[in-house]
Structure 1
Amino acid sequence: MVNKLKKLLKTPFVRNVMIMATGTAAAQLVNILLQPIITRLYGPEAYGLMGTFMAIAAIIGPVAAFAYPIAIVLPKRDKEAKGLIRLSLYITTAVAVIVGLILLFLHQPIVNIFNMESIAPYLYLIPIVIIFAGLLQVSEQWFIRTKQFGVNANATFFQAILLNGSKAGVGFFYPVAPVLIVLSSLNNGVKALFMILFARKSSYKSSSEEDDDKPVSLKELAKRHNDFPIFRAPQVFINAISQNLPIILLTSLFGPAAAGFYSICKTVLSMPSQLIGKSVGDVFYPRITEAAHKGESITHLVKKATLALAAVGFLPYLVVILFGPWLFSFVFGTDWVTAGEYARWIALWMFFMFINQPSVKSLPVMGAQAFHLRFTIFNLVIRMGLLAVGYFVFSSDVVAVALFGISGAVLNIILILLTLRMTKKFD
């Protein structure tokens, strides 16, 4: 048994996951230590306003480059991958300029339509958020492709120290929502900067290619990978709406404090996903791509990774479900006990989202982008409808969040089962 464990730990997949998870764990430790200070300094309303702004940014940011960065891992030639990086950055810049012009000329109508008076002055930061999001996406995908997982791990750690340390430090003197909003808008840019700095010290060298002199046409690359803007970008956009619209709706329907409760819940309960789930997913993506190229069975890989994540995540999420209100009150202060009630239901959804990473990563490898888009649209309609039922039928923010959480859990189970059925056909 000991020998098997040693052998397992020496495999490249497990070793790379551990590298990613170690950096993320260090970053999460910083978050755990500083978050109770930050929540006590700023309070639920300030946290809710930050959450509302970041929800808007999180909806727009992931599609800044039309999902082309996700394709960077797939080409066999580094030169084509670098072409996708240039294409992604050009698109990101164009999107940021267009959004900036829209805000410049239509700022007040947008604020009035979406009832965003409380964060109106900060909407001008969104083009900057878009640029930073695109830069981070291409950086992350390139380092995933080249298996430089240590660069990502180090950047995640130093990003957490700088940004959370700044929130806590400035909060002692000026504990208001604008501080949280401005610092949060720099989040992606800070991580991308650290990744670029650490990459300069990396020993990675591009593989020599026989056709290295052959020029890469960005137009040809865009056409070859057009399933990403056609199917994956809408899917990512709709999924971002599904995950972040609740914060905007809770602000509109129940006030900024409710959005603050939801924001802290999502931040805390995403920690296992960021620590292990994303680490496994980032390492799993190039591994399953390689397996597909070699004709290996990907069903076995998806099953194994999913069950491993389920074993790791079961206990932490169960503790939150059982003791959520007490835990949040004890850690973040008595003002946050309602957040613990939210957490009980969000934990159900987060657990199954935590274990669905292998399934999600396998879909582009199988060319199942269209399926993923359709499923995400269905997901959004069902979950937003149940959130509305909680408000209009029960007039309760806790019931609304409970319905949202339960539906998220059920839909993620369905996604995993459908993906496994597709992997069997693919094999």
Structure 2
Amino acid sequence: MEGSYSQIIYDNIFNVYLYELKIMAIINGVFKNIALLISGTAVAQLINFCFIPLITRLYGPESYGMMGSLMAFINIMIPIASLSFPIAIVLPKSDKTAIYIAYLSICIGLVGAGVLLIVIGGLEYLDGSFSQYPEWYILLLPFIMTFLPLQQSGQQWLIRKKQFKEIAKVSVSQALIMNGLKVIGGGILPTQIMIIYTTGAGVIFQCLQFFYRSYKKGLGIPLSKIKKNYFIRVARGYYDFPLYRTPQVLINALSQNLPIFLLGYYFDSKIVGFYVLAQTLLTAPVTLLSTSISNVYYPTIAEKFTQKKPIYNFLRKTIWGLFIVSLFIYLPCILLSGIVFKIIFGGGWITSSIFFQWMAIYCIFWLSARPAMDTIPPLKIQNYFLLYEVISFLLRILSLMLGYYLYKDAIICIIMFSSTNAVTYAVLIVYILFQAKVNDRKYT
């Protein structure tokens, strides 16, 4: 009897050891993938940083503000272009379904670009809604929109296939080409039209790169084998993405880019340029960490849901880890931004440094909230998240409007906007953690 107890103990120890080895292998794999993405994104951000002083001196705040407006329009078009279907590419068990989702996204993008062109023409004819922008600027938008689903579908397919090295390669090459075009173009003719067209060319090149690399990794199906009925089945199976995710992402994009449009409306392109420079520098760490970690943790969290495993502790530790990292990143930036801006960008960009200091506060919470956002689709609470986005969007609009109508000061507008953002992201984190704990009770 004593020997059998000993054998049971040894067997249990051995099983625990094997389990720990498996866990370590999974963790090592996850962190290896994160490291690949972060290294690629880090190099891309370093390239962007090196070019920014040249670009700001070549073009000035007004042209920089016009470029920022273009990127704001593109960010708003991203969820519209494919109705957020590409986000679902990582979820199906079969590659066939994922491929159909990708091609459905591309078809929607083509139709959406045509609709956008008609809408722009109609609004311009009726009331001149886009009179503040040149015609060549506005017509560029539907053209770029046709390419956006290629980027989204290609990137999500590479994530599905765990081809993180390919994503890193695209990040680096796109940063080199886009910034190189801006500097070369600015050296020849430093005008608004030059920075706009070189920026648009860089975005299109990135879209084509992602799709080409994903096509080489299996994202392809002969046209003769495409079945229309399967498109309908896929669209119905993932209806919650266009129904809930698209409005949520769209509202989020509108709220994030809202200051660009309102500052341009209330003030001028120069103020927009100050804001865009601060935003570009601040979102670099967010892009570096949150996108890379999200690309790895989103499929990991989705897998935990599929296997019916608890997620609360995993999510909580990830959020706390990112919060601590973001403090180390942004606190020195807040303290030193005034001196750094004057040395690197010149005295003409001091207002941008003040924007930077206040916007850094909400970026701490924005970065920390990214894992919570990635947990929303598996939790199937996108309808509640949509309500949250609507409320937070209205609060952000209100904060900017109050800042202008009460004080007529761009800096006050940014202070009120940043404070509102910080509070709304903190509320989101608490709510998603609560929902994760509720979900875990099903498996305990």
**Distance (whole Å) between structure 2 residues aligned to residue 64 and residue 198 of structure 1:** 20
**Distance (whole Å) between structure 1 residues aligned to residue 125 and residue 272 of structure 2:** 23
Q: What is the CA distance between 1:218 and its match in structure 2?
A: 1.0
State the superposition RMSD in angstroms: 2.2
Match of 1:209 in 2: none
Aligned amino acid, residue 187 of structure 1: G
118-127 or 188-197, larger mean C-alpha shift = 188-197
Q: TM-score, normalised by structure 2?
A: 0.89
11-20 or 173-182, larger mean C-alpha shift = 173-182
**Distance (whole Å) between structure 1 residues aligned to residue 323 and residue 119 of structure 2:** 44
Alignment check: 8 A CA contact 1:8 1:14 kept: no
Alignment match of 1:25 (pick from 24, 42, 45): 42
Match of 2:89 in 1: 72
Alignment match of 2:189 (pick from 166, 170, 174): 174
Aligned positions of 1:245-256 closer than 5 A? 245-256=258-269
Work out whether 1:113 is the aligned partner of 2:129. Answer: yes
Q: What is the CA distance between 1:102 and its match in structure 2?
A: 2.3
Change (3 A) 1:216 1:21: farther
Aligned positions of 1:202-281 closer than 5 A? 217-281=230-294
Match of 1:411 in 2: 424
Aligned amino acid, residue 167 of structure 2: N
Aligned positions of 1:302-321 closer than 5 A? 302-321=315-334
**Distance (whole Å) between structure 2 residues aligned to residue 201 and residue 123 of structure 1:** 34
Work out whether 1:83 is the aligned partner of 2:100. Answer: yes
Match of 2:364 in 1: 351
| Cα deviation digits, residues 180-215 of structure 1 (max 9, x gap) | 21122233321122234444665x799xxxxx9999
Work out whether 1:157 is the aligned partner of 2:172. Answer: yes
Match of 1:396 in 2: 409
Alignment match of 1:104 (pick from 121, 144, 148): 121
Match of 2:137 in 1: 122
182-191 or 312-321, larger mean C-alpha shift = 182-191
Aligned amino acid, residue 106 of structure 1: L
State percent identity of aligned pairs.
32
Aligned amino acid, residue 19 of structure 1: L
Aligned amino acid, residue 113 of structure 1: S
Change (3 A) 1:10 1:289: closer
30-39 or 311-320, larger mean C-alpha shift = 311-320
Match of 2:64 in 1: 47
Change (3 A) 1:188 1:410: same
Change (3 A) 1:155 1:275: same
Change (3 A) 1:141 1:126: same
Match of 2:355 in 1: 342
Alignment check: 8 A CA contact 2:157 2:219 kept: no
Alignment check: 8 A CA contact 2:334 2:356 kept: yes
289-298 or 216-225, larger mean C-alpha shift = 216-225
Alignment check: 8 A CA contact 1:60 1:130 kept: yes
Alignment check: 8 A CA contact 1:359 1:416 kept: yes
Match of 2:8 in 1: none
| Cα deviation digits, residues 159-195 of structure 1 (max 9, x gap) | 0000101111111121111112112223332112223
61-70 or 287-296, larger mean C-alpha shift = 61-70
Mind listing any 5+ residue stretches in structure 1 that lack a counterpart? 207-211
| Cα deviation digits, residues 201-250 of structure 1 (max 9, x gap) | 65x799xxxxx999971111111111111111001111111011210110
**Distance (whole Å) between structure 2 residues aligned to residue 199 and residue 142 of structure 1:** 6
Match of 2:150 in 1: 135
Aligned amino acid, residue 117 of structure 2: G
Alignment check: 8 A CA contact 1:63 1:236 kept: no
Match of 2:301 in 1: 288
Q: Which runs of 4+ in 1 moved over 3 A?
A: 7-10, 196-202, 212-216
**Distance (whole Å) between structure 2 residues aligned to residue 143 and residue 275 of structure 1:** 18
The total of aligned residue pairs comes to 414
Alignment check: 8 A CA contact 1:325 1:338 kept: no
**Distance (whole Å) between structure 2 residues aligned to residue 97 and residue 400 of structure 1:** 36
Alignment check: 8 A CA contact 2:147 2:208 kept: no
Alignment check: 8 A CA contact 2:338 2:354 kept: yes
Alignment check: 8 A CA contact 1:79 1:216 kept: no
Alignment check: 8 A CA contact 1:9 1:15 kept: no
1:117 is paired with a residue whose SS is: coil
Alignment check: 8 A CA contact 2:174 2:205 kept: yes
Alignment check: 8 A CA contact 2:153 2:211 kept: no
Change (3 A) 1:196 1:213: closer
Q: TM-score, normalised by structure 1?
A: 0.92
224-233 or 306-315, larger mean C-alpha shift = 306-315
2:407 is paired with a residue whose SS is: coil
Mind listing any 5+ residue stretches in structure 2 that lack a counterpart? 1-20
191-200 or 406-415, larger mean C-alpha shift = 191-200
314-323 or 38-47, larger mean C-alpha shift = 314-323
Match of 1:192 in 2: 207
2:241 is paired with a residue whose SS is: helix
Match of 1:15 in 2: 32
**Distance (whole Å) between structure 1 residues aligned to residue 394 and residue 359 of structure 2:** 18
Alignment check: 8 A CA contact 2:80 2:112 kept: no
Aligned amino acid, residue 121 of structure 2: L
